[in-house]
């Protein structure tokens, strides 16, 4: 199983906004929004911002990598 490599400057972050998650995963914001809408990628609101926890990203990638 491959391990998600988080850039050093982002290792201390515990949550990412949609734009940051898109950059981190090399996916579009629309693709991430679809994953959230389908319930495969967990997110939460903080005020008006939608955030995705580091753990949710790892769990989501693990889920995707286990699908065949």
What does the pLDDT read at residue 10?
54
User: In this predicted model, what pLDDT tens digit does every residue of 4-53 receive, in sequence order?
Assistant: 666 655 566 899 999 999 999 999 999 999 999 999 999 999 999 999 99
Closest CA to 55 of 2, 16, 26: 16
Tell me whether residue 9 is in a domain.
no
Of residues 38 and 1, the one with the higher pLDDT is 38
Tell me whether residue 33 is in a domain.
yes
Tell me whether residue 7 is in a domain.
no
Q: What is the DSSP letter of 10?
A: G
By the 8 A CB rule, do 60 and 41 touch? yes
Note down the domain range covering 58.
Answer: 15-66
Tell me whether residue 58 is in a domain.
yes
Closest CA to 32 of 54, 10, 17, 12: 17
Tell me whether residue 42 is in a domain.
yes
Tell me whether residue 57 is in a domain.
yes
- The domain total for the chain is 1
What does the pLDDT read at residue 13?
87
What does the pLDDT read at residue 25?
93
Strand order in the sheet with 15-17: 15-17, 49-53, 44-46
What does the pLDDT read at residue 28?
97
How many C-beta neighbours within 10 Å does residue 16 have?
21
């Amino acid at each position: 199983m491959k391990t998600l490599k988080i850039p050093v400057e982002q290792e201390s972050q515990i949550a990412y906004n949609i734009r940051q998650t898109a950059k981190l995963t090399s996916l579009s914001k629309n693709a991430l929004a679809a994953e959230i809408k389908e319930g495969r990628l967990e997110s939460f609101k903080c005020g008006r911002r939608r955030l995705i926890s580091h753990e949710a990203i790892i769990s989501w990638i693990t889920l995707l990598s286990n699908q065949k």
